[in-house]
Amino acid sequence: MLNFLDFLGTVGGNVLGLPGLVGLALGMMTRNWVLAVIMGIGIGAIQSLLFSDFQLAESNIYDVGIAVLIGVLASLVGCAIRHKGATV
C-alpha cells in the first residue's frame, strides 16, 4: 500500500514524465474525446510496461493505475486545448 508521500511522488513523476507530457501532446493531436481517452490509456500502460522491462510481474497495480489516470487526464486536457484554441 502506498503512503501519502509515495502517492504524491508517483503522481508528480507521472505528470512531469511520459504520461503527462506525451498524453498532452497526443490529446492535442485530435479533436475526438474518445480517441484522446484511448490514447491516454495506451500511453499510461506503455509507460508502466516500459519501465518494468515489459514484465507484468514487476509492475505495481497502483503505479499502472496512476499512470493510466494521469495519461487520460493529460490527453483530455490536450483535447480541450485543441477544442478551445480552434474556436478563437
Give pLDDT tens digits for 42-64: 999 999 889 888 888 888 888 89
| pTM of the model as a whole | 0.88
User: In Å, how far from its chain's centre is CA 27?
Assistant: 10
Is 3 inside a domain boundary? no
Tell whether 5 is covered by a domain: no
CB atoms within 10 A of CB 58: 11
Residue 46: inside a domain: yes
Q: Can you give the pLDDT at residue 87? A: 65
In a domain, 9, yes or no: no
For the chain, the domain total comes to 1
Determine the pLDDT at residue 59.
83
Asked if the structure places residue 6 within a domain, the reply is no
Q: Please give the pLDDT value at position 41.
A: 95
85, pLDDT greater than 90: no
Q: CA-CA distances (angstroms) from residue 79 to 29, 49, 64?
A: 7, 25, 22
pLDDT value at 27 more than 70: yes
Structural domain span for residue 42 = 16-86
